[in-house]
Amino acid sequence: MSILARFAPSPTGRLHLGHAFSALFAWRSAGSDGTCLLRIEDIDPDRCRAVYEHAIYEDLAWLGLTWPVPVRRQSEHLDDYHAALTRLILMGVAYPCFCSRQDVARAATAHGPEGAIYPGTCRTLDAATRAERIARGEAHSFRLDVAKSAAITGPLFWDEEGEGRIEVDPTIFGDPVIARRARFSEARPTSYHLAVTVDDHLQAIDLVPRGRDLFLATHVHRLLQALLGYAAPRYAHHALVLDGDGEKLSKRDRSTALADLRAAGWTVADVKQRIGWSA
């Protein structure tokens, strides 16, 4: 069976050496008779820029990669994510949360791998209060009630290449945000977790190759897949390319941007050597 994989960068900055590794890894994961799709994850209008999207096409083409067109751009599919959110709300596992980031930081008593764990302030608000606060135009996100979700799905696992079955811990981040904070419900807000889960399903992805920094997010994605009745893809999380100090590379650090290296005369072979890529 030929494999369908994907590479899903966000156009929030220029691609760097770490992205080069990730892209080469994704295309190789698909195998010679498989396909790797390119998906543009541009749901955040405050951070995404058209110039960065064009730079993605340019950098990947320079690396010698090709992909089927048209490319799925998440900003053109907000209805799909909204439909999934609506289903979760109707199932009773997604609820509006009126807390700001500061509210959460102040009220949190537990910390998870990505900071303060939401203490559940809005989980128990009654339906009338929720409706009234939304009608008043109060900004709200939607969160996933992970305890309720896990009770519905039962134990879950995902298949990690080279590691086998990984058991899902649905509570790892507390109740995660699945639609970002917005003032009006008609704004169709979504989140990385929800959009990525819906897209991997709609695009019938078999294998999700991506960096190790997203390993823990898979706990949330697998839970969402089970709730929405989606088949689970396999996952392959690769080790990250680090800088000289052992730190993760950043889109803000110009010294590793592919476009700059190219302008400075680097060849693709130079890039591959620096990231330890062997064909």
Q: Can you give the binding site for ligand GLU, defined by CB under 6 A? A: 8-10, 41, 196, 210, 214
Q: Which is nearer to ligand GLU, 88 or 196 (CB)?
A: 196
Please state the separation of Cα 201 from the chain's center in Å.
13
CB hemisphere CA count around 232 (13 angstroms): 21
Minimum distance of ligand GLU from residue 6's CB (angstroms): 8
H or E stretch including 55? Answer: helix 50-62
Write out the two tokens for 252: 């803000």
Pick from 149, 154, 86: which is nearest to 123 by CA?
A: 149
Q: Which is nearer to ligand GLU, 8 or 249 (CB)?
A: 8
CA distances from 43 to 24, 36, 95, 134 (A): 24, 21, 21, 23
DSSP structure class, residue 32: T
Query: What pairs with residue 5 in β-bridges?
Result: 36, 207
Minimum distance of ligand GLU from residue 187's CB (angstroms): 21
Minimum distance of ligand GLU from residue 17's CB (angstroms): 15
Q: Which is nearer to ligand GLU, 74 or 141 (CB)?
A: 74
Rounded CA separation 1/3 (Å): 6
Minimum distance of ligand GLU from residue 104's CB (angstroms): 22
Q: Which is nearer to ligand GLU, 96 or 197 (CB)?
A: 197
Minimum distance of ligand GLU from residue 222's CB (angstroms): 13
